[in-house]
């Protein structure tokens, strides 16, 4: 950063380190602002800053604004689309727009386990479309066989929706191994 104080990628990476490793949210936010000033269309920085605003600051309006800017900068950025979908679903309760964003995210990256698992959960709990939910859970686990979140949610689905206790037990065992084996 000293060598090139306006290098958006370096500023964004440093902000990510400050947030995720150091827990220094104020400095992370300062770095994100500098990074976005250096490159207002840097989709990763916009999306990561949106995530900080959402999860750390609880500033959902500014987070949504940043997600929209990030998606405008890169309409096929699966992480940003999925994170925005999750905000729309869990914070805004706008299930139709959330589903639209999940579909776009999965189209952008068909093997993104987080987005597949989150969409499966929306299909299960909101839409009550159990067949499509199961399809998404299976796709998430196929995309990442050790994705603990998807394994746990699919195990729960198998237990409480499908009443397939043997298969649920298998998924719970895989979840425990994936979650604790690393």
Q: ∠ CA(17), CA(47), CA(81), 5° rounding?
A: 135
Nearest to 86, CA basis, from 101, 76, 71: 101
Query: What does pLDDT average to over the chain?
Result: 97
The per-residue pLDDT for 96 is 98
Q: In whole angstroms, what is the distance from residue 159 CA to residue 145 CA?
A: 19
- Let me know: does 15 contact 32? Beta carbons within 8 Å: yes
Phi/psi for 76 (5° steps) reads: -115, 20
Q: In whole angstroms, what is the distance from residue 173 CA to residue 65 CA?
A: 40
pLDDT digit string, tens, across residues 155-170: 999 999 999 999 999 9
Q: In whole angstroms, what is the distance from residue 94 CA to residue 120 CA?
A: 16
Concatenated DSSP letters of 87-126: HIIIII--HHHHHHHHHHHHHH-TT-HHHHHHHHHHIIII
- Predicted confidence pLDDT, tens digits, the chain (182 residues): 888 999 999 999 999 999 999 999 999 999 999 999 999 999 999 999 999 999 999 999 999 999 999 999 999 999 999 999 999 999 999 999 999 999 999 999 999 999 999 999 999 999 999 999 999 999 999 999 999 999 999 999 999 999 999 999 999 999 999 988 65
pLDDT digit string, tens, across residues 43-54: 999 999 999 999
Nearest to 84, CA basis, from 49, 51, 52: 51
């Amino acid at each position: 950063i000293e060598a090139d104080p306006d290098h958006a990628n370096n500023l964004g990476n440093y902000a990510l380190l400050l947030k995720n490793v150091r827990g220094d949210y104020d400095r992370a936010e300062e770095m994100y602002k500098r990074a976005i000033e250096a490159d207002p269309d840097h989709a990763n920085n916009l999306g990561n800053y949106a995530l900080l605003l959402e999860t750390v600051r609880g500033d959902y309006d500014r987070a949504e604004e940043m997600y929209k800017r990030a998606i405008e900068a890169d309409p096929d950025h699966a992480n940003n689309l999925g994170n925005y979908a999750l905000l729309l679903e869990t914070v805004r309760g706008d299930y139709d727009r959330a589903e639209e964003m999940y579909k776009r995210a999965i189209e952008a990256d068909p093997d993104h386990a987080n987005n597949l698992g989150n969409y499966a959960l929306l299909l299960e709990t909101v839409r009550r479309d159990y067949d499509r939910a199961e399809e998404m859970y299976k796709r998430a686990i196929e995309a990442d066989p050790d994705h603990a979140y998807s394994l746990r949610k699919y195990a729960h689905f198998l237990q409480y929706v499908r009443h397939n206790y043997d298969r649920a037990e298998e998924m719970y065992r895989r979840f425990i191994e994936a979650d604790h084996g690393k």
